[in-house]
Chain A
Amino acid sequence: MHIPDGYLSPATCVVGYAIMIPFWATAVKKVKAVLNTKLVPLMVIGAAFSFVLMMFNVPIPGGTTAHAVGAGILAVILGPWAATICVSIALAIQALLFGDGGVFAFGFNCFNMALVIPFVTFFIYRTFAGNSEVTSNKRWIWGAIGSYIGINLAATCVGIELGLQPVLFHTAQGVPLYSPFPITVSVPAMLLAHLLMAGPVEAIATGGITRYFQLTNPSIIANQISARLAPAKAAFNKLWYVIIALIVLVPLGLLAPGGAFGEGEISDIKAAFGFVPAGLAALRGHYHGLLQDYGVPNSPFAASAPDLWHQSVGYYLAAVVGIALIAGITLLVTRMIAAREAKKSET
């Protein structure tokens, strides 16, 4: 899931940092308000823990092993803001010491692993198990489910980030400059690997550790660090709007910097090649249209923008399919667990 440098265009990397900087700042502010001087030692240990956790080989059926990110469990025990700091630091050390994940791509790597996973995990854990007893089975089950969904949403984000590259950044001859696969390929590819391998591993880690704490040291779960560090419930209701807004805006929003950065202006291209590629002209026309009207782009159905229209449909389809897949599997797992619990209580 670590994106190396060279897969994302510089413009995209800037977007990644621009998204993360306010989150980092808020995270430090929130955590500091609760922990005060304990901020540094606890974040240090959390980051070191997350780093070591990523080196654990978790056995999965079939005799192979895979690594967990560990962002889910940190969200459960420390709350999502602290988890964001800890995982970001662990990722920074991985990038700097071992070149795991790029320096420019660090912003988006943090967005995917240090922001999406903890917040989604915590959101689900808190919603479904927040009021249950400390030793209730609900806690570890929802922790596991939450981190499973979290890591798959993160994988979807990686797929979207990579999949936008060939559309936005290619030479006039159509040779893609960065990651070459469109969203319709990159999202399913990322999801497949995470639904089957990385997802279960993350779920095992989160569920297993939570279960261990319930049995041996319930105070860690009951400990109010995560509760005190958690955003208010109302903030989580807003999260849904943010998620919906992101789904809608990601394809549109990233088109703008793509048009403005890196690519030559249309006049340059015309001067160099004597003609303007049709797709580019369409993209550019659409881009200006968007700026002028400041609202719904003027009919993407128009004949001048068929390419973009097709691509946008592709994005939405991919996003919708991805989300539907995750939601469907979540429901399935929930059903299965419910059925098992029912069976248990019968006997």
Chain B
Amino acid sequence: MVDYQIPEWLLKSQGPLPPSNSAKKTRRSFVEKTIDAFSGFLMDDFYSERIASANGLMQGLHPGIKVITTLLLIFVAVSLRSWELLLLFNLWILMLAYMSAVPLSTFLKRVWLVVPIFTGIIILPTLFNVIRPGDPLLVLLHFSGQHRLGPWVLPGELTITSQGVRGAVIFILRVGACVSLSVLLTLTTRWAYLLRGFSMIRIPTLFINILEMTYRYIYVLLQSASDMFQARMSRTVGRTGTGEQQRFVGNAMGALWSKAFILSDEVHAAMLSRGYTGTPRTLKNAKIRGLDWFWIAFALLVTIILLGGDRLVS
């Protein structure tokens, strides 16, 4: 009789894997990029599932309450007009993330690496008086007198305006806060619970039902599409022309729909055979506990303080 023992390394719980590998990026073909996009989706999704099942502040809240308070707080972020309060608000969200066992590096990467780059580029031109006139803050260049360029009149100097800087800071902080809040909600809530939360804000069950099932079938279709691209990659030698590549993508998409369409028939038959009549049924929602009421009261308090403070400051 052999005594089976589970080795110790198998019992150890493993920390979450990093969301995506930042291997050296050479110029990749569209096939590789697509396969990467597919696997990136799976990795990101598994990663957030792990965080969502960790033990933290946001994970402990009722999903419906979390959805409602997140919407309330996004509203606060969208309404705030003073950069000081927006900064404070962002720091508070960071704290929430930290309390919810979200690794700060992940959070910062997802929010504060992406937002300043994309939003920053968009907002950059408004810093200069050539684009949007304002009070000079920093003079960059002196031109010799005014220049006329057709209908445009170039001012005598190129400056960064104080209005421009203020506007840019407020804008980036606001977009950052909004993105932070929705990232925090989705990182700390499993998909199924999140949808139950949405049913609390009166989103019709039909839509929630479709959302729930779509999420599952995305995996099926992703697998199917991924197989197609892997097969193509393993059979491609040498270079191919753009026209041929475009035809392949078109065909792959078409083939995917053909498969998906048959699948929808099968799913339909399966649903009918299990007694589906057109009205979806769901399990009862989780109970709202004392902590949840406290959280709602707290979120309301934060809202009142921030919006009230905003009126005073600006």
Task: List chain A positions with a Cβ less than 8 A from chain B.
Answer: 4-7, 9-10, 13, 28, 36-49, 51-53, 55-61, 63, 65, 70, 73, 77, 85, 89-90, 92-93, 95-99, 102-104, 171, 173-181, 204-205, 207-209, 211-213, 216-217, 220, 262
Contacts and interface: CB of A to CB of B under 8 A. Distances in A.
Interface residues of B, number: 83
B96 interface: no
A59 B252 CA distance: 13
A44 B213 contact: yes
B257 interface: yes
B7 interface: no
B171 A6 contact: yes
B209 to A, nearest CB: 6
A157 to B, nearest CB: 18
A44 B267 contact: yes
A50 B139 CA distance: 50
A21 to B, nearest CB: 11
B271 A41 contact: yes
B85 interface: no
Given A37-B271, A38-B268, A104-B78, A48 B260 contact: yes
Given A49-B257, A56-B252, A180-B171, A44 B37 contact: no
A103 B110 CA distance: 17
Contacts of A10: 75, 78-79
B30 A59 contact: yes
A44 B179 CA distance: 27
B126 A9 contact: no
Contacts of A49: 221, 256-257, 260
B250 A57 contact: no
B303 interface: no
A175 B186 contact: no
Given A6-B78, A37-B271, A205 B38 contact: no
B38 A45 contact: no
B263 interface: yes
A264 B76 CA distance: 17
Interface in B219-273: 220-222, 225, 242, 245-247, 249-258, 260-261, 263-265, 267-268, 271-272
Contacts of B261: 45, 220
A12 B247 CA distance: 40
Given A96-B194, A208-B246, A174 B163 contact: yes
B242 to A, nearest CB: 5
Contacts of A46: 260, 264
Contacts of A217: 254, 258
Given A28-B206, A177-B170, A178-B171, 6 more contacts: A6-B176, A37-B277, A40-B210, A47-B210, A175-B166, A209-B257
A52 B218 contact: yes
Contacts of A171: 81, 314
A42 B242 CA distance: 33
B30 A5 contact: no
Contacts of A41: 213, 264-265, 267-268, 271
A209 B249 CA distance: 9
B132 interface: yes
B75 to A, nearest CB: 6
A48 B220 contact: yes
B296 interface: no
Interface centre among B71, B74, B77, B183 (most CB of A within 10 A): B74
Contacts of B217: 44-45, 48
A208 B264 contact: no
Contacts of A209: 250, 253-254, 257
